[in-house]
Chain A
Amino acid sequence: MSDKTSTSNESFLNDAGNRAMLFQIALLALVVFIGYYLFSNLQANLANRGISTGFTFLNEPAGFPVLIHLIEYTEADTYGRAFVVALLNTFVISFIGIVLATLIGIVMGLARLSRNWLVARLATVYIESLRNIPLLLQMFFWYFAVLSALPSPKNSLLFGDFMLNKRGIYSPNPIVQDGFGLVIFGFIVSIIASIALIVWAKKRQIRTGDWFPAYWGSLGIMIVVTLAFYFIAGSPLEFDLPQKSRFNVTGGMVLPPEFVAVLIALATYTGSFIAEIVRAGILSVNWGQTEAARSLGLADNLTQRMIVLPQALRVIIPPLTSQYLNLAKNSSLGAAIAYPELVAVVMGTTLNQTGQAIETIGLCMLVYGSLSLSISLFMNWYNKKMSLTER
């Protein structure tokens, strides 16, 4: 907006560009000053407490147990290994939680749209009650009220080879025998075969217009081929069944109550949000689209699958992304009921024992930051693929 002919008459500050520059310099100076001030205080405080900065503590022995670990871990292992264990716990619960929450969300969202009055009401009650109760309260409810009210190991509830008691859910543990590689090979072969089937079906449909149920077909191929290889290899899987002893249960695979409580709470809570997103997405597709599909003679299920769903997905995906991110972040509430995830192990125990505040909190922020970034990158890619292609 600077007017070259009259700059000589005007003060420096009358130019909007100059003012913006001055303001930004001041802002930058302020940010740098605050950063410097906090950092120098920090250094002084750390020096007073005799804490040295740096990540060397990751190589020192941790000395505390982590109850749930997917990889080998003992108290003698290092803080670094404890960090990896906690990281895996966070990933596992986020991943399974996302899958379950999506399933619950789709079912409940469709149920709320159902023409069946009773089903729609029940879904509404589910969604509106779970959405409006804090997640932490729900975790406490599942952990302290439901799972700790289960019987002791001695009086375990039995469901076939599965067992349910205070210490968790026990299931048979598959043990891989020789020749299992053949089964994996068969599985890979079946995947290649089903991809080929889908490609062939699509080509044939474009050429002749005939339609082939390729997805059901590929599912069938995968099951049949994998099972065939399994039996050819001589059933190379054995199951370690949980056995009840006097005070405990030995053998089998255990899902500890902390894990189950966090998982149920995360999946049902996030599922209620996803249900609303699914419902809004489907409602956003113009009714005219359904009518047009019907007038073309498409059956009801084809109308839903080929006309409504692809258009609804476009509306559903962006908010769905943020729900997935929320779930991953909310898994940190597991710290409150002693599920050893990232925050509990790193910002809780490690921070308490070593006093390395900056490093531990930095690590946590780095992990959550990259988790958010990767989920949103993936979703952006998917979103781009699904979005409207206009001329």
Chain B
Amino acid sequence: MLTTRPYFSTLMLGLLLMLTACANSPTSLYQQLGGNAGISQITDHFLVNLSQDKRIVHHFAHTDIAIFRQRLIEHLCVVSGGNCEYKGASMFDAHIGLHISQADFDAVVGHLIDALKQQHVPIATRNALLAKLAPMYEDITYH
């Protein structure tokens, strides 16, 4: 008993360390998206895709793209669990009076998926991000 206990304790400590490592190392969604650099690149792909879509580009006619880009990056960072501060308005407030329709929202989702693919984000990471963004439909559309 006396001789096995240290081994047992070492094993438990080892397991504990492994579990902690597991909890931290396969990384947050933020890290899976490539951190700030990855999210910035995803945002840029996304903005290019939006700008090329005649169906929805009119919504951005009066948008300061540089500020919009920065807010998007911050927002994706916060949503994915990154340590950032989002300095923009709430999703609801940010879309008041813009009359975003379901067709607009669907198109934007399509462009985001394309942007994530262009950045070679794996499907599981893409879906995890979509899981967080999809419920924002209610706050963004029709007001």
Judge: A and B partners, yes or no: no
Q: Which of A's residues lie within 8 Å of B, judged by CB?
A: none
Q: Which of B's residues lie within 8 Å of A, judged by CB?
A: none
